[in-house]
Structure 1
Amino acid sequence: MSGAKLRKDPPDTPTGSPRRGSPSPENLPSPGPRPLRILASGVIFLNHTITVKDFPGQGSNTRAQAVVRLRGGAASACLSVVAQFADTRSWLVAPIGGGSEGAALRVELEREGINTQLCARRESDGVPKAFVIKCLVDNNTQTIINHNPIPDITHEEFFRLIGPLLYSNQAAQEASGLPLSMQPPPIDWIHFEGRTVPTTKENLTGLDGWLREKEWRHKVVLSVEVGKPGRQGEEALVPLADVVFFSSFTSPRAFLLSIRSKVPHHALLVCSWGKEGGAILSVPTREYFQSSAFVPDPAEDRDRDVTLSSGVPILKDTREFWDEERKRQWALGIGSPTTTGPEGEEEEEIDEAASDDAFFGGMIFALSRRILPGPPYSPKVTPTIQRGASHRTLSPYDIPSNVNRNASPLYEGRWRLDECLRFATELAGRRMRRRTDQGLAMAMERVGMEDVINYGS
């Protein structure tokens, strides 16, 4: 498969209405840099993958081909991606056990730029673990054994943990004399892993009420990841979020369209399609984009243990370079790195589960670049614009045709949904063929994405 190719379904524009209009400034994100302050809630565990040639029989003794220890958990993996980019701050809310393993886990997270001060410290030793037995001969089938010695975070505990962050600017806000609606909230994005559905539902509902009370609801994005196997009742979370992430669906377009009636009118629906790519559906603007998977050039994308530590551009060009680079790879038909399997045939080394987390992290970061939070993807009622005899909610695509968005301060650095999808798909394609998340931001910067990565720094 070649590089990522984008397919677009245009929105349903009313008859007689031109494609572009004249948006008013109040309906567009404000100009200027926008840092991303994100909090993610979930569980964190250690994943031990044991690769064997044949699955061992009961009472047998077998030799492992490889043993790999990696940190798992969708929320922490998402933050691990976001934290690599400049001008971001990340907080994790998760239970962490005591003892040496828990301490080492906190050090590892902090080293990656993930703040663990809001994590729940458990007195019991140990951390949640997953033992994965991967059989090479039987089509890489996996047997998973889970062990969780510590309880998940409760609804009351969640708000007790995040309270210091939510009220961190209270003194300054009161001293300013300005109404809360005119002041910035303490956080931009709150993301939930979607496990323990009743608790997650209570947390989303509680946050929605608190943000509305402070008149900040339209300034903070609430997102949730659903669609993991074995989680019952996840459909109850879908109507409560602004952005909903799905995974592992064979027909993303049909699926996302079927979900459209169950979500708020301002929602964005995002689907990670694994090694097939990804898709995004905008409910307010009725736009759909689908991208095939991106396959990096092995010579270009080395697995390096580096992270992006500053906002200094290292390449000279911007989006045009990126487009030309993609065209070059499509023309060459560049494939993905391969390894030799047990029978001598070449097989691709991919990690779809890790790529889903990277896709969601990349999408969150890309959407935060002057798209979210903001209309029309926020609960705040957005006005309509007059177009002949028809009315339509203003779309972020309605940039006047005579405006150079890269020359005007109002539109400079402005991303569109198709660009967000392309960014997330490329980032996920690179993660799919890596052992860890580290170095993804630098890899994206090396191929010409510094105009977005360093925006606002």
Structure 2
Amino acid sequence: MGACRQMDVLSMFCMSNFSINNASARIIARMRHFVGVGACYLDTILCVPRYPSEDEKLRASSITTRRGGNCANTLEVLQDLFGHVNDPIALSLIAVLPDRQSSATTKIVDSLKPTVSVEACIFRENYQEPPSSYIIKNDATGSRTIVNHNDLPEMTCDEFSKAADVINTEGTWYHFEGRIPDVTLQCIQYLRKSYAGAHISVELEKPGRQGLQELVSEANVVFYSKSWAIGNGYHNAEDCLRAQAKLAPNALLLCCTWGEQGSYALEPRTDTYCSVAANMPKDSRVIDTIGAGDTFIAGILYTFFHEHKTQALSQKLAFANRLAGFKVAQEGFSGLSGRMQLQP
């Protein structure tokens, strides 16, 4: 028992016995490349003592600029996690970016070094400004208010298919941010037709985006946000997952995060359901919730890439949930795996 207590969290996760269905095991054995598909932002974050009222002048306590975007955040966390394994997975981003020579693109590319490739990205010539988010963080409540701006023409299915052909790797996992549902559906259908070995996960986050539901039937793993679930008439995570399982014939796993109540998951093929409470490091406090969901997604997806190192569903869920807890307790994403190792 003493030796176990001294082992780091990641090592315990990787070395323990695992329980996984045969279909999942076959997928894991083939996966050698992970591709995130979604928008990439530059975020400007203003921390304020309270949310300002209209037409009020208020001094911010700090200002931070960093790269954002759901898939880019997930890739950054995966890069950190895979840095602790002997056989890392190739990581790539497919996103629309400004001109390749623009200062914004340079910042974005630098933020994803050293191992996330941007060679499959779509660069818009003569566009200098990236998609941008202006985030007001309320120090009093921990809430965040986000205003987005994006002048870049969105990705088309034809552009995606050319990017996927550049990657052209059998056994690639594609994770889609549910941004433009009709285009995303076309992209997934292209992969199903052209790359039989591809596996697909999608994120359903914003309830106002029409067409997200149609993506569920094509995906192997689906991530639902609390806001999407409530916006579509579900009162709790279990109701959402069990109802959605009937609409997801290809699904190996469905996950739903529910804020302070924790995280929930369902394996439709085995009808295995579990939940874990929200989990932050001992004696910590909420510092930065931006990207907590992206971190959770990274934690879950990480568990699919190690055939002999994957735990039972409840342990997989607890791992991702704790990883997100460490993220909430710090600014940004740097060094999360190291903190997981050092904490009991």
Shift of the 50–350 alpha-carbon distance from structure 1 to 2, 3 Å rule, reads: closer
**Deviation per residue, 1:404-455 (Å, 9 max, x gap):** xxxxxxxx5353222211211111111111111111122233358xxxxxxx
CA contact (8 A) 2:281 2:343 kept: no
1:131 aligns with 2:134: yes
The residue aligned with 1:367 is 304
Q: Secondary structure at the match of 1:254?
A: helix
Measure the CA separation in 1 of the matches of 2:248 and 2:23: 22
Cα distance, 1:108 vs structure 2: 1.8
Measure the CA separation in 1 of the matches of 2:32 and 2:200: 13
Q: Secondary structure at the match of 1:70?
A: strand
1:223 aligns with 2:201: yes
Measure the CA separation in 2 of the matches of 1:245 and 1:266: 11
Cα distance, 1:51 vs structure 2: 2.5
* Residue identity matched to 2:287: E
Q: How does 1:28-107 map to 2 (within 5 A)?
A: 29=25, 36-56=32-52, 60-84=56-80, 85=82, 86=85, 87-98=88-99, 99-107=102-110
CA contact (8 A) 1:155 1:202 kept: yes
Query: Which has the higher mean CA deviation after the structures are superposed, 220-229 or 188-197?
Result: 220-229
Measure the CA separation in 1 of the matches of 2:34 and 2:272: 26
**Deviation per residue, 1:317-341 (Å, 9 max, x gap):** xxxxxxxxxxxxxxxxxx4x24xxx
The residue aligned with 1:431 is 327
**Deviation per residue, 1:293-327 (Å, 9 max, x gap):** 11213xxxxxxxxxxxxxxxxxxxxxxxxxxxxxx
CA contact (8 A) 1:38 1:90 kept: yes
Aligned mate of 1:260, from 245, 250, 261: 245
1:356 aligns with 2:293: yes
Shift of the 61–252 alpha-carbon distance from structure 1 to 2, 3 Å rule, reads: closer
Q: How does 1:56-455 map to 2 (within 5 A)?
A: 56=52, 60-84=56-80, 85=82, 86=85, 87-98=88-99, 99-111=102-114, 113-123=115-125, 124-136=127-139, 139-166=141-168, 185=170, 187-212=171-196, 216=197, 220-248=198-226, 249=229, 251-264=236-249, 266-297=251-282, 335=283, 337-338=284-285, 348-351=286-289, 353-370=290-307, 412-447=308-343
**Deviation per residue, 1:253-279 (Å, 9 max, x gap):** 111111111111543111122332211
Cα distance, 1:231 vs structure 2: 1.9
CA contact (8 A) 1:265 1:283 kept: no
* Residue identity matched to 1:194: G
Q: Secondary structure at the match of 2:25?
A: coil
Q: Secondary structure at the match of 1:64?
A: coil
Cα distance, 1:40 vs structure 2: 0.9
**Deviation per residue, 1:373-431 (Å, 9 max, x gap):** xxxxxxxxxxxxxxxxxxxxxxxxxxxxxxxxxxxxxxx53532222112111111111
Shift of the 288–56 alpha-carbon distance from structure 1 to 2, 3 Å rule, reads: closer
CA contact (8 A) 1:193 1:224 kept: yes
Measure the CA separation in 2 of the matches of 1:136 and 1:428: 20
The residue aligned with 1:311 is none
CA contact (8 A) 1:91 1:114 kept: yes
Cα distance, 1:233 vs structure 2: 2.0
* Residue identity matched to 2:164: I
Query: Which has the higher mean CA deviation after the structures are superposed, 98-107 or 236-245?
Result: 98-107
CA contact (8 A) 1:83 1:90 kept: yes
**Deviation per residue, 1:161-195 (Å, 9 max, x gap):** 221211x6xxxxxxxxxxxxxxxx2x431110010
Q: Secondary structure at the match of 2:124?
A: strand
Percentage of matched positions with identical amino acids? 27
* Residue identity matched to 1:47: D
Q: Secondary structure at the match of 2:195?
A: helix
Between 1 and 2, higher relative CO (CA 8 Å, sep ≥ 6) is seen in 1
Q: Secondary structure at the match of 2:184?
A: helix
Shift of the 134–428 alpha-carbon distance from structure 1 to 2, 3 Å rule, reads: closer
Measure the CA separation in 2 of the matches of 1:291 and 1:229: 24
Measure the CA separation in 2 of the matches of 1:52 and 1:279: 32
* Count of paired positions: 310
Measure the CA separation in 2 of the matches of 1:52 and 1:210: 49
Measure the CA separation in 2 of the matches of 1:136 and 1:80: 25
Shift of the 101–264 alpha-carbon distance from structure 1 to 2, 3 Å rule, reads: same
Shift of the 58–253 alpha-carbon distance from structure 1 to 2, 3 Å rule, reads: closer
Measure the CA separation in 2 of the matches of 1:49 and 1:420: 31
Measure the CA separation in 2 of the matches of 1:267 and 1:203: 20
CA contact (8 A) 1:367 1:420 kept: no
Shift of the 258–189 alpha-carbon distance from structure 1 to 2, 3 Å rule, reads: same
Measure the CA separation in 2 of the matches of 1:286 and 1:158: 34
Measure the CA separation in 2 of the matches of 1:200 and 1:110: 26
Which consecutive residues of structure 2, in runs of 5 or more, have no partner in the other structure?
1-19, 230-234
Q: Secondary structure at the match of 2:306?
A: coil
The normalised TM-score by structure 1 is: 0.62
The residue aligned with 1:20 is none
CA contact (8 A) 2:45 2:134 kept: yes
